[in-house]
Amino acid sequence: MKRILSLTFFLLLVVLAIKAQPQLSFSQKAHDFGTIPWNKPVTAEFKVTNTGNSALVISNVTTSCGCTLAEWTKQPIAPGEEGVISSTFDAKILGHFTKLIGIYSNASPKPIYLNITGEVAVGRLNYKKDYPFEIGNIRIDKNNIEFLDTNKGDKPTAEILVANTSNKAYEPILMHLPPYLKAVATPKKLARGRAGKIKITLDTRLLKNLGLTQTSVYLARFPGDKVGDENEITVSAVLLPDFSHLTELQKAAAPVIQLSETDIDMGPMGKKDKLSRTIIITNVGKSRLDIRELQVFNAAVNVSLRKRYINPGVSTKLKVTLIGKALKKLKSSPRVLMITNDPQHSKVIINLKATTK
């Protein structure tokens, strides 16, 4: 009799365990994005409901490629409650796409799959908005590249987005690259109406001087193209000094730079105007302040500094002049750059602005 009761109790527990199961229910298992613009990530959200009678735990969500990222509700989902699974597609490859999302949970020994579909196209983009700079029949999203706050040994990258609005295939090539810059176009050829990108890599090991290094590269519009203002792209890099070797005592005894102002509004300016402002530079630290480099980002700014070496408690004057006739030709904002031996302010930027009459 005891054996029969024990067996009956065991079978009852088994039946209850079988009945106490979470269940995944989706309002939809597929999402079609339709046509989406190139390089503009899109996200689909799938609502999941636990229609079982025990807590649902989603242990993992996988995607069929690195171009898709997934997020999901990590905490247990009680019976009758909802969770969310979101999938973001980076849209960096043109054409049709179908991507699978695998859902792993305690509701099933096998994954349950969702899918997202769509088409990445450049034809429906607003060229003037997304690629505002026109070089012949080619449009780009920027004509000025800046690598700021770099250290020796760094290899930072930047991208220029390129759209081919001509009626034939086009090969994006940057001309006159200096040794410290490398450029790779993806794809190597653009069909008409298609877009791609140029990835630019800076090798700071090949920069010769601290502070600002500037150059111009040129986007070829066709094979054998010449260089000129029309296809010029300016590139700036700022290399900072290395203070990682300083001890805490040396840092405490370091110079400290203080400026009377770093953002200057010159107000309205005509083409023939030259407006100046004097900035007071003071060393409030404990050792001599050295202005190692004093540079400007473009020809619209002139500077004049009385002293490059400033003892503790001493001030000097920096005269900054903005030239009106050069303002309209600028590809970068007018700024002054100082590289100093102050470990906390090795790079100091003075921003200038004016409104043209």
The 10s digit of each residue's pLDDT in 43-65 is 999 999 999 999 999 999 999 88
| pLDDT at residue 6, rounded to an integer | 54
| Those residues with Cβ within 8 angstroms of residue 319's Cβ, 6 or more apart along the chain or in another chain | 276, 277, 278, 279, 303, 304, 305
What SS3 state is found at 327?
helix
Could you tell me the strand order of the sheet in which 174-175 lies? 144-150, 232-239, 211-219, 174-175
Q: Residue 340, Cβ neighbours under 10 Å: how many?
A: 24
Taking 80 as the threshold, does the pLDDT of residue 126 lie above it?
no
Taking 90 as the threshold, does the pLDDT of residue 238 lie above it?
yes
- pTM flag (> 0.75): no
Measured CA to CA, the distance from residue 39 to residue 66 in angstroms comes to 15
Confidence class of residue 3 from pLDDT cuts 50, 70 and 90?
low
SS3 content of the chain, % helix, strand, coil (to 5): 10, 50, 40
Taking 90 as the threshold, does the pLDDT of residue 310 lie above it?
yes
Beta strand 257-259 with 195-202: parallel, antiparallel or unpaired? unpaired
Taking 90 as the threshold, does the pLDDT of residue 246 lie above it?
yes
Dihedrals φ, ψ of 252, to 5°?
A: -65, -30
DSSP result, 277-292 = EEEEEEE-SSS-EEEE
**Residues 268-279 pLDDT 10s:** 988 889 999 999
Cα of 270 vs its chain's centroid, Å: 35
| pLDDT at residue 149, rounded to an integer | 92
| pLDDT at residue 2, rounded to an integer | 47
Structure tokens at 43: 């996200």
Query: Pick the residue with more confidence: 355 or 348?
Result: 348
| pLDDT at residue 201, rounded to an integer | 97
| pLDDT at residue 13, rounded to an integer | 46
| pLDDT at residue 19, rounded to an integer | 61
Taking 50 as the threshold, does the pLDDT of residue 16 lie above it?
no
Task: State what percent of residues in the chain have pLDDT above 70.
Answer: 93
| pLDDT at residue 218, rounded to an integer | 97
- Max mean pLDDT range (47-61, 277-291, 327-341): 277-291
Taking 80 as the threshold, does the pLDDT of residue 121 lie above it?
no
| pLDDT at residue 196, rounded to an integer | 85
Task: State what percent of residues in the chain have pLDDT above 90.
Answer: 65
Please identify which residue in the block is written with the tokens 């799938």.
46
Structure tokens at 2: 């005891």
Please identify which residue in the block is written with the tokens 């449009």.
139
What SS3 state is found at 130?
helix
Cβ–Cβ under 8 Å, residues 38 and 126 = no
Taking 80 as the threshold, does the pLDDT of residue 122 lie above it?
no
Beta strand 68-72 with 195-202: parallel, antiparallel or unpaired? unpaired
Confidence class of residue 342 from pLDDT cuts 50, 70 and 90?
very high
DSSP-assigned letter for residue 77: B
| pLDDT at residue 21, rounded to an integer | 87
Cα of 59 vs its chain's centroid, Å: 31
**What mean pLDDT is predicted for residues 20-45?**
84
Nearest to 322 by CA among 331, 335, 308, 338: 335
**Residues 133-186 pLDDT 10s:** 999 999 999 999 999 999 999 999 999 999 888 888 899 999 999 999 999 998
Cβ–Cβ under 8 Å, residues 83 and 2 = no
H/E element holding 322? Answer: strand 315-323
**What mean pLDDT is predicted for residues 326-343?**
91
Give the CA distances from residue 99 to residues 85, 117, 147, 217, in Å, rounded to whole numbers and listed in that order. 14, 6, 35, 39
**What mean pLDDT is predicted for residues 212-235?**
94
Average pLDDT in the chain: 89
Measured CA to CA, the distance from residue 48 to residue 247 in angstroms comes to 56
Least reliable range by pLDDT among 91-105, 119-133, 202-216: 119-133
Measured CA to CA, the distance from residue 130 to residue 121 in angstroms comes to 13
**Residues 63-76 pLDDT 10s:** 988 889 999 999 99
Cβ–Cβ under 8 Å, residues 85 and 46 = yes
| pLDDT at residue 171, rounded to an integer | 93
Give the CA distances from residue 141 to residues 34, 128, 317, in Å, rounded to whole numbers and listed in that order. 24, 9, 39
Confidence class of residue 104 from pLDDT cuts 50, 70 and 90?
very high
* Residue 266: strand pairing partners: none
Measured CA to CA, the distance from residue 126 to residue 134 in angstroms comes to 13
Confidence class of residue 327 from pLDDT cuts 50, 70 and 90?
confident
